[in-house]
Amino acid sequence: MKKVSVIIPCRNAVKWLPKCFLSLVSQTIGISDLELIFVDDASDDEGATWNMLLEFEAAYPESVMVIHLEENLRQGGARNVALNYAAGEYLAFVDADDFVAEDFLEKTYERAKAEDADIVQFEYFYYTDRLGAVPANRNVQNEIIRIRTPQERKAFLMSEKITYGCWNKLYRRELVQRAGVKYAEHVIYEEPLFVYPLLFYADTFAVTEEAFYFYRQNDGGTMRSDMKQAETLKMHMQVQLAVWNFMKCTPFFREYYEEIKLYFLHTYFYETLYFAKQREFTISWEQYSSMERTVLKEVPDCSESEYETVIPKQMELYRMAVTGMTEEKLRAWLEKI
């Protein structure tokens, strides 16, 4: 069995793939201990991405697998396809335009084995061709989190020491199989549907302050059209509603209802409004009203929480939704966040 399977979704990625590929085949853990699964997510660059992947596979036939998709599933769907083939003891995810430090997999795998960790979370750099690598500076310390009781898990969930992104982690593959998690497909913000449920299935988390991942930033910025804004907000909400629906079907929903409820309310409702406000996206009253109806349907007790003293802004929003929000009240509330 390979020590680590690394899944790399690719679409029209010939500009970035050589750097990503070289950073993976040069890993100090040794290429013979790795399974690199590249998924061409229906690239439309006249075969350039696919032909480059075939060259990778020809160079390392024992360690590289390439998969071609006829339909564009976006990163989440491409990763899901690759998960059906992954056979390594642990899993890692790298995006085709990113790259990693040469000791990334050796150090994270050794940490996982030493602590018998289900998930290892590490730090990262932001990277642009203009500025190079810039540390994320998240003020993280090395830590081992072992969960033995429901009370410890509740405290852990509320601490949010584990982020909901997928690529800054190493995962025990058996854990992912047991949880039955998949990424959201055809959307952006696909990662929480994969990561969040794992926080209930895993019992040991290793957090390291060392940075191994170079996360490329888009110098060009994000499109700002009204259509793009609406699509971005809609996808964000879709994924968080999918997380809520997934968790309702797990054996954890009743015991950790208050924590799961707050996660959904925060990410689907509060965070969407906060996201729109911070990025100066336009959110219409109709959009808000649709969100509110979903919240009141799914979480009729949203105005009550045992954690209300630590989230006053959020609770103000949830209570206004129950007691009767108006467009004027919404605009006044948005001005305060």
pTM: 0.95
Domain range list for the chain:
4-216, 226-336
CA–CA separation, 269 and 292 (whole Å): 8
CB-based contact 96:75 (threshold 8 Å): no
DSSP 132: E
Phi-psi region of 137 (alpha: psi -120 to 50; beta: other; left: phi over 0): left
Q: Are strands 90-93 and 4-10 parallel, antiparallel or unpaired?
A: parallel
> Tell me: the pLDDT tens digits for 229-247?
778 888 999 999 999 999 9
CA–CA separation, 254 and 5 (whole Å): 34
> Tell me: the pLDDT tens digits for 177-200?
999 999 999 998 899 999 999 999
> Tell me: the pLDDT tens digits for 275-296?
888 888 888 899 999 999 999 9
- The top-level CATH class assigned to 4-216 is alpha beta
Measure the CA angle with vertex 29, ends 25 and 34; round to 5°: 55
Average pLDDT for consecutive 10-residue bins of the chain (337 residues)? 98 98 98 98 98 98 98 97 98 98 98 98 95 92 97 97 97 98 95 98 98 85 53 91 98 98 98 90 90 98 96 96 95 90
Residue type, position 141, single letter: Q
Structural tokens at position 292: 């509110």
Looking from the CA of 163 toward its CB, the CA atoms found within 13 Å total 15
Residue 54, exposed/middle/buried by CB under 10 A (0-12, 13-18, 19+)? middle
pLDDT (0 to 100) of residue 221:
41
